[in-house]
Structure 1
Amino acid sequence: MTLFKLYFKYYWYFKLVNVTNKINGLIYFIRKIPWLGSKIPMRLYELYGIKEVVTLLGLFLSLSLSIVYKFFWLGLYLFSAVVLESIAANEDIANVFFAFKPHVLMNSLFIWLFLMIMWNLFMQGRSAVKTNIVRFYDDFILSRATVVRGMSLLDSAYQAIAYLPAALFLGVLFGRGFSTLLLVLFSYLAVNYFCLYIHRMVYMWRFSVFFRRLLMLGSELLVLGLGVVIWRYHLVDSLMGMLLSWGGLLFLLGCLAGSLWLFLSFKYEHDFLLYQQSLAAETSAKWEKFVGPTNQYLSEGLTMQKKLVVTTENANEHLAGSNYLNALLFSRYRSILNKALMYRFSVIGLALLVIIGLSWLAPADFLATKEVAKTLPVLFFIMYVLSFGKKVVQLVFVNCDVSMLYYPFYREARTIVTGFNYRFKQTFYYNGLLAIGIFCCYLLLHVLNGFFLEGRFFIVLVFLLIALAFLFSFHELFVYYILQPFTGELEVVSPLYKVVSGGFYLIAYFNLRIQLASYLYVVVLSALSLLYVGIGFLVIYKWAPSTFKIKA
C-alpha cells in the first residue's frame, strides 16, 4: 500500500506542477506586455492555494470531458451494432434499436473490446515517455521507474473510471447494467496493463527494432484474425455471454490481477526507460532532419541557411556599409528566393489553367462582375500566404542580424534605417511580382469570357494589389524592427510579437471568410493598408534605432 500511496502522491504532484507551470507562464506573458505588465504584482506567483484549486478543477473538467468522449465511442459502437443487425434482419434501424435485443448489446461490446485490444497493441508498442514526465522526474530527482510506472498505472485507471457512466448507461438499456459496467472496467484495465507488460518483455528479448515491429504487427494480425473468425462463425453471443456471466467476470478480474502483478513485478524498468528515451531521441532527430527546424518563427530562415551554396562572385564592390552587407546577403540567397518565387508562380500558373478550363467548359454567362468582386477581399489572405515578408525577416535575422546586432556601429540610426529601406525594397520586388501574377489571372478571366468585367473593377483591383504589395512587404519588417523579438539563441521572448502575429492572421482569415461584393470595403481596406504603411515608416525613422537590438 505504501507504494500505491507514492504513486498517487507523484501523480498529484505531476498534475500540480503542470498547472503551476501554465499559470506562471501566463503571469510571465502578461507581465511582458507593455504598460499592462508593470501593473501585475510579483506576488501572483505565490498563490499556491489557488493553483491547487485550479489543478483539482482541471482534473474534474478533464474527467468530465473524458466521460463525454466515452459516451460518444460506446454510442458509436452501439450504433454500428444496430446497423449491422438491421441489415442482417432486414429491419428498420429504429425498430432494432428500441427492441433492445441482447444480441445487439453483445455485438456492441464485442466491437468495443476488439478495437480496444487492437488500439492498445498498436499504441503501447509505439508510445514513448512524454517529455513533461521526463522533465518532472529529472527536475525533482525522483525515481524514473516509480514515476513512469505510477503514471501508466493511474492514467489507465483514470480512463477506466471515465468509461463507467457510459458502460452503466449502455448496460441499463439492455437490462444488464452492473455486469456490463464490470466487464468494461475489468477488461479495459486488464488489456492495458497486459499490453504495458508485453511491451516491456519484447524489449527484454533483445530483438532488433525491425523484428520487434514485426512481432507487434504479427500480434495485431493475430487479434484481427481471431476477431474475424469469432464474427464470421457467429461466436460473439457465446463469448460475450460467457464474459458477462459471474464466472466470466471473475475470470476477467483474475486477468486484471495477473496483468497488474506482471506489470508491477517487471524488474528492469530503469533499463527499459533508458532504452525508450534513447529511441525517442533518435526518432526525434530523424524527424527533425526530415521536416526541418521546428521553430515556427525562424524555421524558414534556418532552412534557407542549410540550402546556401556560397559563390565567389561579387557584384556589390561599389557599395559600402549597411548597403554592402544587405546586398551581399540577398545576392547569396537570390537563387533560393527566386526558387521560392517560382513555386508561387507555379500556383498562379495552375490558377490560370483552371481559369482557361472553366472558361472553355462553362456556359458563356456563368460569371458576373458582382460574383467576381466577392473574391477581392480574399486576395488579402492569398497575399498573406504567398508573401515574402516572413521569409525575408527570418533570412536577415538568422543569417545577418543575429551576429551583427552585437556591434555598436550596426545599431546606429542611419545604419538601421538604411537597412530597413533596402530590405523593404527587396521584399516589395518579390511581392510586387506576385501582385502582377494575380492581376494576370483576373485579366485572363476577363478576356476569355467576353470582356465582362467593368472598368472600375480593374481600377479597384489595381489599387488593392498595390496596397497589399506595400502592406505585406512592410508589415513583417516593421514588427521585426520595432519589437525585435529574437534572442541570440534564436528564441522568441516577446509575447507581444506572438499576439501581433496571431492578430494579423485573424485579419487575413476574416477577409477569407467575408462574402462581400462592395467596392467600398475594398477601397477602405486598401486605403487603411497604405495609411498603416505611411505611419509605420514615420515610426521606423523615429523609434527603430532604440528598439532594434538583440533580446537578452
Structure 2
Amino acid sequence: MKDMLRYSWYQEKFSLSKQVNGFLYYLRKIPFIGKSIPETVYHSYKVKSSLFYLFTILSIPFRFLAKFFWLTLYVGTAHITINLATGAEPLSLPLQPQSFLLGFAIWISLTGVLFRFSKGFESVISQSNREFLVNFKLSQRLFLHSQLLVEPIIHSLAYLPALMILSGLAHQWLILPVGLLALPTAQLAGYACNFWFFKRRTFITNWSWQNWALLLPGMTFAILAFFKRDALNTAFLLVLLIIQIPIFLMSLRSVLAFHQITEYFNFRMEESLALDKKIFQMKQGNEYTRQGLKMQEKLSLDKQEDLTHLTGMNYLNALLFQRYHTILAKGLKKRLLFLLLVPTLFATIAFFAHEPLKLPEEGLIALLPFTLMIMYAGSLGKQITQMVFVNCDIAMLHYPFYREPKTILAGFNYRFLQILKFNSVFASALFLIIMLIGHFHYSWHIILLTAYLILSMTFLFSFHDLFIYYILQPFTKDMEIVNPLYRILSGALYWLAYLNTQLKIASLLYILGLSIGISLYVGIGYLILLKKAPKTFRLK
C-alpha cells in the first residue's frame, strides 16, 4: 500500500510539474509581463518548487468545490425534472427531500455506474499516463494498482464534505457511506469484469458495441430512479449499501489475483498507439476530403459481383460504389440506429408512465422544421462526394476522355441516384417514426405535406454537395481547396438546417413554402449543372 501511495504522489507531482511549466510558458507570452521573465526561469528549482507547492495547496480546495458543484448540478437537475413532471414551475423553491435523493441516485448512475464502471473497460492509456509510466520505468503492477485503488478513493474522499451536507439536507445519513463507496466499488467492479473477459481472450476495445453497451446499466438505473422516485428512501439506500460491500470485496480480491499484467499492458499500449495513428490520420487532408481518406483506409475487397455486362462510365462508377458499399452501408446502419433511439425513448417513457404518448398535429407542425437538421445529420451526400473525388476523380480527371460533357453528366447522374438510394432509406425511416409517434392519426393533408417535405429534403441532401462539387470542382491535385465560394456553399445546408431550429415557425404555409423552395433549388440547380458542369469539372 505504501508503494501505491508513493506512485500516486509521484504521478501527482509529475502532473503538477507539467502544469507549472505550462503556466510559466503562457506567463511569458503575456505582453509587458512576459518580457520581464527570463527563459532561465525553467531551470530555477526554487521558483518551480514554490509554484509547485502553491498549485498543490490551491488544488485541494478546488477539488472539494468541484465536487460540491457536481452534486449541486445533479440535485438541481432532479428538482427541475420533478417539477416538470408534476406540472410545477421548473425553478420553484424550496427543494424537496425527494429532489436530494433523486439527484443522489442520478449521480450514482452517471458518475458511478456509467463513468467509473466503464472506466474499468478502457483499452487506451492516456498520453500523460503513458509518459509517466515509460519515462520513469515504473512497475506495471504497482502503477495499475495505484490507478485501481488510490485514485478512486482520493476522488471519493474529495466528495466527503459535499456528501455530508447532502445527507444532512436530505435527512438520510446513509447517503454518506453509500456515496463514499460508490466510485471505488464501480471502478473495481469494472476492472474485475474486464480482467475476467481478458483472461478468456475477449478484448473490449474503444468504440466497440460492447463498449457502447456499458452505457446501458447507468442510463437504465437513472431512468428507473426517476420513474420510481417515490421508492427512494432509507430502505433503498440500505439495499444499495448491502449490495456495494460484497461487490467491493469480491472485485478487490479478483483484481489483486490478476497476474497477466504485462500482457494486459501490452494490449492497452497497442490500442493506444492505434488510437494515436487514427488521430494523426484524422488530421490529414482537410474537412472537405477527410471522410474520403478515412474510407480509403477502411477499404477491404470482399466478394465482388460480376460487372462485365457494364461498360464505360457505368462500369467505373458501379465498381467504385461496389467496393465501398460495405462501408457506406455500415455508415447508414449507424445513422438508423441513432434515429431509432427516438421511438425507443418514447416507448420507454410510455411504459413507465403507464399511458401512451402521442404527438398531436400541432406538435408535428412545430417539429417539421427540425427535421432538416435530422436529415443533415443522417445524409451520406457529403461523405459520398468526398469518396468519389479522393478515390476516383483525383486520378481520372487527368485524362481527356473523363472530362468530356457526356462522361461528366453520366457520372453525376449515376452518383446522384446512388446517394438518393442511401438517403431514401434514412428518410423513409424518419417518416415512419414520425407517423408512429402520432399513431398514424394525422389528417391526410398533414401526412402528404410531411411526405412532401421529407421527399424534397431527400433530394436536397442527395443533390447539394455533389452539385457544388461538379459546378465549382475546387480541388487541386494535392487536395487543396482553391475556391473560397465552395467553402461557403458547403456549409450552407448546415446553416439552413440550424436556422430552421431557431425560427420556431409552426405554420403549414411555411412548411409548404420550404418544400417548394427546396424543389425549385434542386430543379434549377440541375439545369445549371447540365450547362456549366462540362466546363467547370476540371482539376484546378
Residue in 1 aligned with 2:279? 288
Aligned positions of 1:86-485 closer than 5 A: 121-123=17-19, 125=21, 155-158=29-32, 196-197=42-43, 222-227=53-58, 286=277, 288-289=279-280, 291=282, 293=284, 295-311=286-302, 313-362=304-353, 367-447=359-439, 451-485=440-474
Alpha-carbon separation, structure 2, partners of 1:220 and 1:548: 60
Is contact 2:474–2:486 with CA below 8 Å preserved after alignment?
yes
Alpha-carbon separation, structure 2, partners of 1:493 and 1:229: 52
Alpha-carbon separation, structure 1, partners of 2:506 and 2:499: 15
AA of the residue aligned to 2:29: D
Identity of aligned residues (%): 37
Q: SS state of the match for residue 492, structure 1?
A: coil
**CA deviation string 1:222-244 (max 9, x = no partner):** 4444458999xxxxxxxxxxxxx
Is contact 1:390–1:476 with CA below 8 Å preserved after alignment?
yes
Shift of 1:459: 1.0
Is contact 1:374–1:516 with CA below 8 Å preserved after alignment?
yes
Alpha-carbon separation, structure 2, partners of 1:325 and 1:536: 25
Alpha-carbon separation, structure 1, partners of 2:453 and 2:518: 9
Alpha-carbon separation, structure 1, partners of 2:384 and 2:52: 51
Q: Residue 292 and residue 305 in structure 1: after superposition, are their counterparts in 2 closer, same or farther (change >3 A)? A: farther
Residue in 2 aligned with 1:490? 479
Residue in 1 aligned with 2:174? none
Q: SS state of the match for residue 313, structure 1?
A: coil
Alpha-carbon separation, structure 2, partners of 1:230 and 1:473: 54
Q: Residue 409 and residue 357 in structure 1: after superposition, are their counterparts in 2 closer, same or farther (change >3 A)? A: same
Coordinate RMSD, CA, aligned: 3.7
Q: SS state of the match for residue 377, structure 1?
A: helix
Is contact 1:482–1:544 with CA below 8 Å preserved after alignment?
yes
Aligned positions of 1:498-517 closer than 5 A: 498-517=487-506
Q: Is 1:550 equivalent to 2:424 in the alignment? A: no
Shift of 1:342: 0.6
Q: SS state of the match for residue 368, structure 2?
A: coil
Alpha-carbon separation, structure 2, partners of 1:297 and 1:291: 12
TM-score w.r.t. length of structure 2: 0.53
Q: Residue 315 and residue 128 in structure 1: after superposition, are their counterparts in 2 closer, same or farther (change >3 A)? A: farther
Is contact 1:301–1:395 with CA below 8 Å preserved after alignment?
yes
AA of the residue aligned to 1:414: K
**CA deviation string 1:75-105 (max 9, x = no partner):** xxxxxxxxxxxxxxxxxxxxxxxxxxxxxxx
Q: Residue 414 and residue 355 in structure 1: after superposition, are their counterparts in 2 closer, same or farther (change >3 A)? A: same
**CA deviation string 1:252-297 (max 9, x = no partner):** xxxxxxxxxxxxxxxxxxxxxxxxxxxxxx9997573374535111
Shift of 1:478: 0.4
AA of the residue aligned to 1:332: R
Alpha-carbon separation, structure 2, partners of 1:309 and 1:446: 42
AA of the residue aligned to 2:447: F
Alpha-carbon separation, structure 2, partners of 1:421 and 1:228: 62
**CA deviation string 1:394-439 (max 9, x = no partner):** 0000000000001000000000000000000000001100111101
Alpha-carbon separation, structure 2, partners of 1:128 and 1:393: 46
Shift of 1:158: 3.5
Is contact 1:124–1:196 with CA below 8 Å preserved after alignment?
no
**CA deviation string 1:282-322 (max 9, x = no partner):** 99975733745351111100000000012462421111111
Is contact 1:405–1:549 with CA below 8 Å preserved after alignment?
yes
Alpha-carbon separation, structure 2, partners of 1:328 and 1:446: 42
AA of the residue aligned to 2:42: L
Shift of 1:128: 12
Alpha-carbon separation, structure 2, partners of 1:477 and 1:153: 48
TM-score w.r.t. length of structure 1: 0.52
Shift of 1:503: 3.0
AA of the residue aligned to 2:501: L
Which of 521, 530, 540 is the equivalent residue of 1:532? 521
Shift of 1:483: 0.4
Alpha-carbon separation, structure 2, partners of 1:405 and 1:160: 53
Is contact 1:121–1:219 with CA below 8 Å preserved after alignment?
no
Q: Residue 361 and residue 414 in structure 1: after superposition, are their counterparts in 2 closer, same or farther (change >3 A)? A: same
Alpha-carbon separation, structure 2, partners of 1:128 and 1:460: 62
AA of the residue aligned to 2:289: L
Q: SS state of the match for residue 438, structure 2?
A: helix
Which consecutive unaligned segments of at least 5 residues does structure 2 have? 1-12, 63-272
Q: Residue 526 and residue 230 in structure 1: after superposition, are their counterparts in 2 closer, same or farther (change >3 A)? A: closer
Larger Rg: 1
**CA deviation string 1:121-142 (max 9, x = no partner):** 544646999xxxxxxxxxxxxx
Is contact 2:292–2:383 with CA below 8 Å preserved after alignment?
yes
AA of the residue aligned to 2:484: P
